[in-house]
Chains A and B, each alone.
Chain A
Amino acid sequence: MTSAPLVHLFLGLLLAPLLLGVINRTKAFFAGRRGPPVLQLYWDLAKLLRKGAVYSQTTTWVFQAGPVVGLAAVLAALALIPFGGAAAPLHFNGDLLLLAYVLGLMRFFTVVAALDTGSSFEGMGASREVQFAALAEPALLLALAAAARKAGSLSLSGILPAAVPLSPELALAAGALVIVFLCENSRVPFDDPNTHLELTMIHEVMVLDHSGPDLALILYSAALKLWVLGALIVGMLVPTVAGVPWVANTVIGLAGMLLLAVVVGVVESVTARVRLVRVPHLLAAAGALAALAFVLVLR
């Protein structure tokens, strides 16, 4: 037993906000701007944590519980994710189902906190979030099921050290996961994290009423979610090297995460957001890819 799992957990906690900084710098590069500092989210979190929070009189404890439960859920998810070829801090048979459900719990509390405000915008955002999640979750589970069958293990830690060479089935599953990754983290082409237009938002509109430390928790949770789902994709696609110290594999994994962030930035720079009614089509495509992968591994 090495200390690798705990180091990886700590790296995730520390470096997750960095991914968003890298995405934003990539987008700025394509737009011909200098862009915000890579560490901007860290400064924002520090600023928000020092502020007070404003609560609407129409909200109840549910509204305040939303960000806390969301963070707790995503921390649990982080503990389930293996990184750099090493096992996750927490692993057992069937933990891939738990991963899907703790992420579902996070979403559920974000949605009820949004509904708790009674704002028509947040209601719209909640309805969109749930609608798209209903399509994204089957895609996620099918992709994981395909990988689980291929690896012959029901634990993420048994699945994720990437197979070399990458099989076509896993490539399909990874493709589905990339689509789910973009949707779940409200990135272009599903959502526009930079927009100020309430009527077009999905995720952002649900957290409009949160402020101060609550908002900091939400932003940090979102960064962790990006890390968790990103680590899933990187784990599936980036091979680990046998016979080297685990630190080397950790560095390879981190390089994979940074590359993923750059890819997200490039995608956001060269495509426009799809029309909201077309989002289910894209998610259905992810579901189809995952189903195909699952059928192929059952052969």
Chain B
Amino acid sequence: MTEPKPKSIRNLEPLGLDKVPVLDVSGFRRTIVDAVRNGARVSSFFGVPASALAEGNAATPAPDGAASPVRLFAVLASVETGTLSVLSALVQGEYPSLTPECPQVHWFEREIWEQWSVKPAGHPWLKPIRFHAPYAPTGSGAAAGAEIGVAEFFRIEGAEVHEVAVGPVHAGVIEPGHFRFQCHGENVYHLEISLGYQHRGVEPALVGGPNRRTLHYLETLAGDTSVGHATAYARLVEALAGAAAPPRAMSLRGIALELERLANHTGDLGALAGDVAYLPTASYCGRLRGDFLNLSALLCGNRFGRGLIVPGGVNFDADRELIAELQARLAAAAADVQGAVELLWQTPSVMARFENTGALSLELATELGLVGPVARACGARMDVRHDFPAGIYQFVQVPMSTWNTGDVFARAYVRWLEIQKSIAFIQERAEALPDGACRQDLPVAPDRRQFAVSLVEGWRGEICHVAITNSAGRFIRYKIVDPSFHNWIGLAMALRGQPISDFPLCNKSFNLSYCGHDL
């Protein structure tokens, strides 16, 4: 008997759950390690209790002491072929950790351990990432009900080494996260980031969906990525039903997604300027971010684009006058944003702060599996819109923007390049908006158990949603990977050897989501 091979699918191509290959643990490990060595990236890696998969309902607690079997699923993205490899393995209680050979799964393995009490034996730094009680209360898992944030932190001992702890309550009105710096004078040897303060239990709440609440959970997953996550969800539901949104809806969704990118990238550039106390760009970008948000409000009445995207299309059509107004206001904002942002590159004192600050190498970014503008700033050529196109991006290419220095400047400059591309994209799509309906009813999903993956390039990077449905079309598991999940470790690594006073600047150049990570 030959060993099963991982199954290759495309973005949004539904697969019968029985077609997802089950490998033995050693084959599963070898396949992932080899694939990653050959250029693939782990997009998603998660566990589902075997009992839930068998019966198609929520997990039933196993008898005390006995570890219930858990099936691990991995989704590997291969940029070269534009395909996703899907594979799974059944484990019980413990399995040899992949992290030593494939560092980019380290966070996923900690998550699996915390959620399902499956221990990755040999994981170099096994501790909870969100500090919640395990979803399946058995086995050698994370301490149930552990107090949030209370754990061993990496420490450096020595007479001249000191530790600086920041957060979870910060001086500004920002999300909570705890940062531990091991410093020598002003220099940072190591930074450990402890999150989980925003954990709401979104993934368990989505089991049994889709229902009337599902869309709202996804729109509020990470408030600044409402359109990104809603798009991923809507496309996934459409794919499971074997349908697609009408062309007009595809265009409008693309416009909304790019508007979200514009607003956030502009806000980030302003915040970066603010962090180095460069006033003009900070002030103007703050206002311009609002202008872009108001364009989203023009489309649907909400500045974050909530309520716009629904499975089957979009909720609000745009008539001719509205599109004309959108184009006019976008053109005005585009001119202003050019003036405000180009000041940054022309001001030596700003460039002195941005260049060579928090640099990451391409090798490190690839090994850690970083995504989005952060990875592209290191020179990684990856963009879901280009590599795994769906919706409008199947028909229209958005040129990929990369830089090669991997420092704060590169992360800022890639954002500026993307701002320009997004503005051009929206203007073109608004000009050539297809006629027809903007919403259609979805057919009933086929009565078989399915597995599907939806990838979207949100403004922070790759958003990965995976749905596993039962024969009634209900979610047995809805796994969400926000780009922040991949990138937090990148921030920690970027700070090594940097002065601690540059942390806020580095942090702003990543601008990761706490609630998108904590779910």
* Interface residues of A, Cβ cutoff 8 Å to B: 27, 30-33, 120-121, 123-124, 127-128, 188-189, 192, 194-200, 268-278
A-B contact pairs, 29 of them (CB 8 A): A31-B280, A31-B282, A32-B284, A32-B287, A120-B162, A120-B165, A189-B277, A197-B172, A197-B275, A199-B164, A199-B166, A199-B500, A200-B504, A268-B277, A268-B279, A270-B280, A271-B278, A272-B273, A272-B276, A272-B349, A273-B278, A274-B349, A274-B352, A275-B352, A275-B501, A275-B502, A276-B499, A276-B501, A278-B352
**In the assembled complex, which residues on chain B have CB atoms less than 8 Å from the CB atom of A273?**
276-278, 349, 353
What is the total of A-B residue contacts with beta carbons within 8 Å?
91
| Residue on B nearest A120 in the bound complex, by CB | B164
CA distance in complex: A123, B500 (Å): 13
CB 8 Å contact bits of B176-217 with A (1 = contact, 0 = none): 000000000110000000000000000000000000000000
Q: At the interface, is chain A mostly helix, strand, loop or mixed?
A: helix
Find B347's partner among A33, A124, A188, A272 (CB 8 Å cutoff). Answer: A272
**In the assembled complex, which residues on chain B have CB atoms less than 8 Å from the CB atom of A194?**
277
CA distance in complex: A35, B514 (Å): 32
Contact B165 A27 (CB under 8 A): no
Of A127, A189, A192, A273, the most chain B CB neighbours within 10 A belong to: A273
Q: How far is the CB of A115 from chain B (nearest CB, A)?
A: 13
| Residue on A nearest B276 in the bound complex, by CB | A272
Contact A188 B277 (CB under 8 A): yes
**In the assembled complex, which residues on chain A have CB atoms less than 8 Å from the CB atom of B504?**
195, 197, 199-200
**In the assembled complex, which residues on chain B have CB atoms less than 8 Å from the CB atom of A196?**
171-172
Contact A276 B186 (CB under 8 A): yes
Of A27, A192, A278, the most chain B CB neighbours within 10 A belong to: A192
B233 interfacial contact with A, CB 8 Å: no
Find B499's partner among A189, A197, A275 (CB 8 Å cutoff). Answer: A275
Contact A271 B349 (CB under 8 A): yes
CA distance in complex: A288, B277 (Å): 27
B503 interfacial contact with A, CB 8 Å: yes
Q: At the interface, is chain B mostly helix, strand, loop or mixed?
A: helix
Contact B280 A272 (CB under 8 A): no
* Interface residues of B, Cβ cutoff 8 Å to A: 162-166, 171-172, 185-186, 273, 275-280, 282-284, 287, 347, 349-350, 352-353, 357, 499-505
Contact A33 B283 (CB under 8 A): yes
CA distance in complex: A28, B51 (Å): 63
Known: A120-B163, A275-B502. A31 touches B279 (CB 8 A): yes
CA distance in complex: A268, B275 (Å): 13
Contact A198 B171 (CB under 8 A): yes
**In the assembled complex, which residues on chain B have CB atoms less than 8 Å from the CB atom of A32?**
283-284, 287
**In the assembled complex, which residues on chain B have CB atoms less than 8 Å from the CB atom of A192?**
277
**In the assembled complex, which residues on chain A have CB atoms less than 8 Å from the CB atom of B350?**
272
| Residue on A nearest B354 in the bound complex, by CB | A272
**In the assembled complex, which residues on chain B have CB atoms less than 8 Å from the CB atom of A27?**
279
| Residue on A nearest B275 in the bound complex, by CB | A197
Q: How far is the CB of B416 from chain A (nearest CB, A)?
A: 17
Q: How far is the CB of B408 from chain A (nearest CB, A)?
A: 11
Find B164's partner among A121, A270, A271 (CB 8 Å cutoff). Answer: A121
Of B278, B353, B502, B503, the most chain A CB neighbours within 10 A belong to: B278
CA distance in complex: A120, B161 (Å): 12
**In the assembled complex, which residues on chain A have CB atoms less than 8 Å from the CB atom of B276?**
272-273
**In the assembled complex, which residues on chain B have CB atoms less than 8 Å from the CB atom of A120?**
162-165
**In the assembled complex, which residues on chain B have CB atoms less than 8 Å from the CB atom of A277?**
186, 499
CA distance in complex: A277, B500 (Å): 11
CA distance in complex: A32, B273 (Å): 15
**In the assembled complex, which residues on chain B have CB atoms less than 8 Å from the CB atom of A268?**
277, 279
**In the assembled complex, which residues on chain A have CB atoms less than 8 Å from the CB atom of B275?**
195, 197, 200
Of A121, A195, A197, the most chain B CB neighbours within 10 A belong to: A197
CA distance in complex: A91, B275 (Å): 43
Contact B353 A272 (CB under 8 A): yes
| Residue on A nearest B504 in the bound complex, by CB | A197
**In the assembled complex, which residues on chain A have CB atoms less than 8 Å from the CB atom of B186?**
124, 128, 276-277
**In the assembled complex, which residues on chain A have CB atoms less than 8 Å from the CB atom of B166?**
198-199
| Residue on A nearest B284 in the bound complex, by CB | A32
Known: A196-B172, A200-B505, A272-B347. 5 other contacts (CB 8 A): A120-B165, A189-B277, A195-B504, A200-B504, A276-B499
CA distance in complex: A128, B501 (Å): 11
CA distance in complex: A271, B284 (Å): 16
CA distance in complex: A271, B499 (Å): 21
| Residue on B nearest A197 in the bound complex, by CB | B504
